[in-house]
Structures are given as structure tokens and as C-alpha cells.
């Protein structure tokens, strides 16, 4: 089930009892953050919030602001048009294992299992809601008319916090869509915080080497399936639009920008069009970040807007980041669920994986494996450190398959009980997340692996690994029945 606009998604959340409307004016400076932070930290992520009258410097904005729209398991699934994100994970798994259909019957079996690759392909249209209203520089309208948040007191300014940034590889024309925050410098200029490891930064480097101006379009709102796709760790070269079309089972409709040669989703709420000049950098930040700390000022590219287009009934999408858990935890969790089949295909011994909220995505990764041979835990760690954004994983803890990695307390129990610290750890060098303030040098550092699996004689452990204390299932079943039969 696809959503025809961000407003339509908000209405679905409302009728499902997942949205609270706030009719009184609330300031985009700090106040929306404080209310949203409390909501995001309430049990299971609270509700989505629709601020109907966000104010900018005391003036009520023409556009309402919605936040925390993906900040729970249920809302994250609803964003993808699902009851549960595991449905999409099952389809990914089926697709990876599927052979190309040879008969009509095989093709029907694929369709019955929800595998709809036909709709992965986008469709081009000639007119679109996202271009109902077009503003150009020099007019009365500017970014100051959007309810853009100043999230935290020491932030360097206002930041667009939920943007999906469309760029093209100048060599191949391949599209990328990534979420990179944008600091507002003035009504028509922002920062572009694509970190060095991200795909848009690679595109930018190629424009720089070619000495060409880089066209960029930034989409706000529209179908949240696309917003999620922009955050998902897809391999470089895999088009987020294809992934979103596959996930929502409906082709994404695209239209060419008004002032840039970049296709944007027709159902977007706002589109910011413009360009990045190769070599131009400007201090960006500070910004209260995912890590729970402010990231320091650093030089980043500058985005010059050439048009702002929007729907008449546009809703401005926002999120805040800060000390976890926040809305982004649920987005990250969904990514892990959806891409687990891909990890399992590369590492058949992997049973499950979790990135607990305390680890802010990359700092802590729990993975359970079906161990068969000596040092297998290390093979899995090194493999993960070599795959895409898993390169950032600061601590990886590997446990046996009978440990539930979704339960942090169970993992800590195994970690403490099953490891000899010197024997069962390893340090490596790898790129670090740009946001990690702990390493001495930015973007590089050490990473640590813990082998908390049982140890084998072939690993030199000759004392006979003990059995875990457990009750057999028939006694558990008896106790369940016995206890429920008591008055
Ligand atoms: C709310 C939110 C904000 C983000 N902000 C940034 C950012 O400012 N810069 C950045 O490089 N990545 C940021 N990310 C992470 C990227 O969106 C993520 O790594 C994505 O997979 C990058 O896509 P790419 O591989 O196509 O570059 C953010 C993610 C979320 C959920
Ligand atoms: Mn990408």
C-alpha cells in the first residue's frame, strides 16, 4: 500500500490512533524538540505529532509540521504500507532465493508471495502535485517560510532534518537518494552534510574532478517509503527509487525538476532544487546529533537553491536526533530487519542481528550464529566490517544461536560468562563514522570484536564447555497449564 502524499500518510496515522494533533502555536525554536523528545522517549515510541501551528520567529507558518511519524514499530511498518516490517524482510528473502520463473505457474507463485518486481520501475509523468506552486529566488518566498527547526540550544542554526537528497553519478547517470541534513544559511542557501563515506559525497568528488557544477534536488515529504529508502544502507549503485517501488508495490511516479535535470517524486510535499559548486565549502554545525552529543563545526559543501516547489496542502516533515532512543532508532531497526536476509545470504551461519538503541546504530552490533568450526565468530565479524556501512560497527558481539540478540540483557549475560577477555577479543583498524567523536582522528579508528560463543576443542578449549541450565519444553508447557488452572 503506497501513500499518495505525506498528508495522506498523516491522515492514515490519525485514523489508526497513531497521531496527536497539537492545535496551539508551538515554536520551531527548541519548543517542538522538547515536546517531541518526550514523546519519542515514551513507551514504544509514543505517537506521531502534528503541530498545526508551528511558529517561526513568533509568526505562525503556512505549513503544519509532522514529526515522529516513523517512530514506533507500528508506524514504521505503516510507512511501508505493511502491518509488520518482517513482511518485507520475508519478501527480500524470497526474492534472493527465487529463481527466474520459467513457467506461468512459477511467475504466479512469485506474485502470490508478494514479489512484485515490475513495480520497482519508476514511471514518468508530465504534471505533478509537487510542482503546484513554484517559487524562484528573488520573490517573496524563501526557506524562512518553512517551519524548519532549530533543534537544540547550541545548534549553529536551523536544520532541515528529514531531507531526501537526489544526486546523479556524472559518469554513469546513476541516481542516488540519501538522507543528509541541511543547515539553513539564508533563504536560498544551505549546507549539505553528506559525510565522506556516503554516496552523494562520492558523486560530489567526481563533479569536482570534472570541474562541473552538481545538480541536486532535495525532496521533503511524499510517500514515507521513499524517506525510509533514503536512510537504508543500500549498496552504492542500487537505486533507492527501485527499492521503494518494490517495497510499496507501486511504481514511484517521477517528474523532471523545474530548474534542474533531476527527476523527483511527483507526490513530494516540497522540492528544493539547486546546485553544489565543486570545491566550495562552508563551516557547518554545531548540531545536536544522533550520538547524543553536539558534532563540532566542520567544512561541508554548500547548496544554492534555484527553485522551491510544493503542493498546495504540503505538510513539512521533521525529526529530531539526540540522546537515544529517538525516532531514527525505529528506522534503523527496520533497516536491520529488511536487510537481514542479505546478510544471511552472505553468511549462512547468521541467525539474527540487532543494533541496540544505546549503540546509536554503529557503536554496538549483536549477532547470533550457528557455530560449526573454529574461529567462525571472527570470520563473521571481519565479513561484517567489510560490508557497506557495517564498516562503522565499533563493537561487534557474536553469540550462539540460542541467545536472543533482541534482548540486550541476554547478550550481556553471554558476553560476561563466555569470554576470556584476552583470548576472545580482537582489534582492527577500519573507517569510523564521521559523527563518532571518540577516535583521536575523525573518520578512522579501532574497532573491537567479542567472541561470546561457546569454545570448541579445536580452538584449544579442552575443559569441556558446560551446558546452559535449561528446563525441557514439556515441563515448561506443563507449568503454563498448571499455573493457568489455578484459581
Ligand atoms: C534522521 C537521519 C539523519 C541523517 N543525517 C545524515 C547526515 O547529515 N549526513 C550523512 O552523511 N548521513 C546521515 N544519515 C545517514 C544516511 O542517511 C545513511 O547512511 C544512508 O544510508 C546514506 O545513503 P547513501 O548510502 O545512499 O549515501 C542520516 C540518517 C537519518 C535516519
Ligand atoms: Mn544509496
Q: Which residues contact 278 (CB under 8 A, 6 or more apart)?
A: 204, 207, 208, 210, 211, 212, 213, 214
426, burial (CB in 10 Å: exposed 0-12, middle 13-18, buried 19+) = middle
Q: Tell me the CA distances in angstroms from 277 to 155, 183, 192, 295, one per residue in order.
A: 25, 17, 11, 24
| pLDDT in the model for residue 101 | 74
Ligand with an atom nearest the CA of residue 203: 1
| pLDDT in the model for residue 284 | 98
Q: ω before 325 within 30° of 0 (cis)? A: yes
pLDDT tens readout for residues 415-466: 999 999 999 999 999 999 999 999 999 999 999 999 999 999 999 999 999 9
pLDDT tens readout for residues 246-279: 999 999 999 999 999 999 999 999 999 999 999 9
More confident residue, 105 or 341: 341
Q: Tell me the CA distances in angstroms from 441 to 117, 128, 288, 413, one per residue in order.
A: 43, 46, 20, 33
If you measure from the C-alpha of residue 143 to the centroid of ligand 2, how many angstroms do you get, rounded to a whole number?
Answer: 26
Ligand with an atom nearest the CA of residue 199: 1
- CA 414: distance to chain centroid? 29
Region 91-99: mean pLDDT is 81
DSSP summary character for residue 358:
G
Mutate which of 155, 231, 339 for ligand 1? The one with the most ligand atoms within 8 Å of its CB, which is 231
| pLDDT in the model for residue 461 | 98
Mutate which of 76, 178, 294 for ligand 1? The one with the most ligand atoms within 8 Å of its CB, which is 178
Q: Tell me the CA distances in angstroms from 107 to 110, 114, 251, 424, one per residue in order.
A: 5, 11, 19, 48
| pLDDT in the model for residue 104 | 80
| pLDDT in the model for residue 127 | 96
If you measure from the C-alpha of residue 194 to the centroid of ligand 1, how many angstroms do you get, rounded to a whole number?
Answer: 7
What span, in angstroms and rounded, lies between the C-alpha atoms of 109 and 91? 12
How many C-alpha atoms does 270 have within 13 Å on its Cβ side?
Answer: 26
Phi, psi values for residue 41, rounded to 5°:
-95, 0
Name the H helices within 387-472: 408-418
Ligand with an atom nearest the CA of residue 322: 1
Helix H, strand E, coil C: the string for 34-47 is HHHHHHHCCHHHCC
Q: Do strands 214-220 and 164-168 pair parallel, antiparallel, or not at all (unpaired)?
A: antiparallel
Minimal-distance CA residue to ligand 1 atom 21: 233
If you measure from the C-alpha of residue 203 to the centroid of ligand 1, how many angstroms do you get, rounded to a whole number?
Answer: 15
What span, in angstroms and rounded, lies between the C-alpha atoms of 437 and 415? 26
Question: What is the percentage of the chain residues whose pLDDT exceeds 90?
Answer: 93
Q: In this structure, are residues 303 and 190 in contact, taking their beta carbons and an 8 Å threshold?
A: yes
If you measure from the C-alpha of residue 183 to the centroid of ligand 2, how many angstroms do you get, rounded to a whole number?
Answer: 21
Which atom of ligand 1 is the closest one to the Cα of 389?
A: 19
pLDDT, averaged across the chain: 96
| pLDDT in the model for residue 102 | 79
| Residues with catalytic function | 289
pLDDT tens readout for residues 97-109: 777 777 887 777 7
| pLDDT in the model for residue 1 | 81
- In 38-181, beta strands by DSSP E: 48-51, 54-56, 59-60, 65-67, 123-124, 133-135, 159-160, 164-168, 175-178
Of 131, 129, 119, 13, which Cα lies nearest the Cα of 66?
13
Q: How confident is the model at residue 114 (pLDDT cuts 50, 70, 90)?
A: low
Region 185-198: mean pLDDT is 98
Mutate which of 70, 174, 198, 322 for ligand 1? The one with the most ligand atoms within 8 Å of its CB, which is 198
Ligand with an atom nearest the CA of residue 241: 2
| pLDDT in the model for residue 120 | 83
Of 320, 230, 215, 306, which Cα lies nearest the Cα of 268?
230
pLDDT tens readout for residues 11-32: 999 999 999 999 999 999 999 9
Which atom of ligand 1 is the closest one to the Cα of 179?
A: 17
If you measure from the C-alpha of residue 240 to the centroid of ligand 2, how many angstroms do you get, rounded to a whole number?
Answer: 6
Q: Which residues line ligand 1 (CB under 6 A)?
A: 176, 178-181, 193-195, 198-200, 231-233, 319, 321, 328, 331, 389
Which atom of ligand 1 is the closest one to the Cα of 181?
A: 8
Give me the sign of the Cα torsion angle 353, 356, 362, 364. negative
Q: Which residues contact 249 (CB under 8 A, 6 or more apart)?
A: 1, 2, 81, 114, 116, 119
| pLDDT in the model for residue 117 | 76
Q: Using a CB cutoff of 5 Å, list residues around ligand 2, an ion.
A: 176, 199, 234
If you measure from the C-alpha of residue 167 to the centroid of ligand 2, how many angstroms do you get, rounded to a whole number?
Answer: 10
Q: In this structure, are residues 270 and 300 in contact, taking their beta carbons and an 8 Å threshold?
A: no
Which atom of ligand 1 is the closest one to the Cα of 319?
A: 1
Amino acid at each position: 500500500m503506497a501513500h499518495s502524499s505525506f498528508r495522506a500518510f498523516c491522515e492514515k496515522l490519525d485514523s489508526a490512533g497513531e497521531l496527536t494533533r497539537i492545535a496551539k502555536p508551538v515554536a520551531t525554536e527548541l519548543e517542538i524538540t522538547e515536546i517531541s523528545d518526550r514523546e519519542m522517549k515514551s513507551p514504544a515510541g509514543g505517537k506521531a505529532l502534528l503541530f498545526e501551528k508551528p511558529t517561526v520567529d513568533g509568526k505562525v507558518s503556512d505549513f503544519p509540521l509532522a514529526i515522529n511519524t516513523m517512530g514506533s514499530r507500528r508506524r514504521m511498518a505503516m510507512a511501508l504500507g505493511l502491518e509488520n516490517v518482517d513482511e518485507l524482510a520475508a519478501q527480500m528473502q524470497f526474492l534472493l532465493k527465487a529463481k527466474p520463473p520459467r513457467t506461468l505457474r512459477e511467475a504466479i507463485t512469485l506474485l502470490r508471495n508478494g514479489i512484485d518486481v515490475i513495480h520497482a520501475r519508476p514511471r514518468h509523468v508530465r504534471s505533478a502535485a509537487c510542482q503546484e506552486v513554484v517559487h524562484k529566488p528573488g520573490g517573496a518566498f524563501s526557506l524562512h517560510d518553512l517551519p524548519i527547526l532549530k533543534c537544540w540550544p547550541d545548534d549553529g542554526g536551523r536544520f532541515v532534518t528529514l531531507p531526501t537528497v537526489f544526486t546523479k553519478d556524472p559518469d554513469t547517470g546513476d541516481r542516488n537518494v540519501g538522507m543528509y541534513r541541511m543547515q539553513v544559511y539564508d533563504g536560498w542557501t544551505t549546507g549539505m552534510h553528506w559525510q565522506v563515506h556516503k554516496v552523494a559525497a562520492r558523486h560530489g568528488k567526481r563533479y569536482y574532478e570534472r570541474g562541473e557544477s552538481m545538480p541536486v534536488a532535495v525532496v521533503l515529504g511524499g510517500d514515507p517509503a521513499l524517506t525510509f529508502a533514503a536512510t537504508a544502507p543500500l549498496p552504492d549503485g542500487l537505486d533507492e527509487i527501485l527499492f521503494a517501488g518494490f517495497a510499496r508495490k507501486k511504481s514511484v511516479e517521477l517528474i523532471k525538476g523545474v530548474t534542474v535535470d533531476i527527476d523527483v517524486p511527483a507526490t513530494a510535499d516540497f522540492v528544493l532544487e539547486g546546485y553544489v559548486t565543486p570545491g566550495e565549502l562552508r563551516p557547518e554545525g554545531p548540531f545536536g546529533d544522533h550520538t547524543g552529543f553536539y558534532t563540532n563545526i566542520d567544512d561541508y559543501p554548500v547548496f544554492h537553491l534555484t527553485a522551491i516547489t510544493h503542493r498546495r496542502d504540503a505538510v513539512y516533515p521533521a525529526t529530531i536526533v539526540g540522546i537515544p532512543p529517538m525516532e531514527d532508532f525505529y528506522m534503523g531497526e527496520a533497516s536491520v530487519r529488511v536487510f537481514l536476509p542479505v546478510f544471511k545470504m552472505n553468511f549462512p551461519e547468521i541467525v539474527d542481528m540487532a543494533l541496540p538503541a544505546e549503540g546509536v546504530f554503529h557503536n554496538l552490533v549483536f549477532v547470533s550464529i550457528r557455530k560449526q568450526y573454529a574461529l567462525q565468530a571472527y570470520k563473521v565479524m571481519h565479513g561484517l566490517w567489510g560490508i557497506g556501512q557495517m564498516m562503522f560497527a565499533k563493537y561487534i558481539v557474536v553469540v550462539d544461536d540460542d541467545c536472543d540478540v533482541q534482548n540486550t540483557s541476554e547478550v550481556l549475560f553471554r558476553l560476561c560468562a563466555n569470554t576470556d577477555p584476552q583470548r576472545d577479543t580482537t582489534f582492527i583498524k577500519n573507517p569510523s563514522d564521521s559523527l563518532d567523536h571518540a577516535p583521536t582522528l575523525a573518520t578512522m579508528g579501532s574497532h573491537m570484536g567479542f567472541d561470546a560463543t561457546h569454545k570448541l576443542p579445536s580452538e584449544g578449549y579442552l575443559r569441556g564447555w558446560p551446558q546452559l541450565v535449561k528446563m525441557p519444553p514439556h515441563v515448561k508447557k506443563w507449568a503454563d497449564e498448571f499455573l493457568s488452572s489455578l484459581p
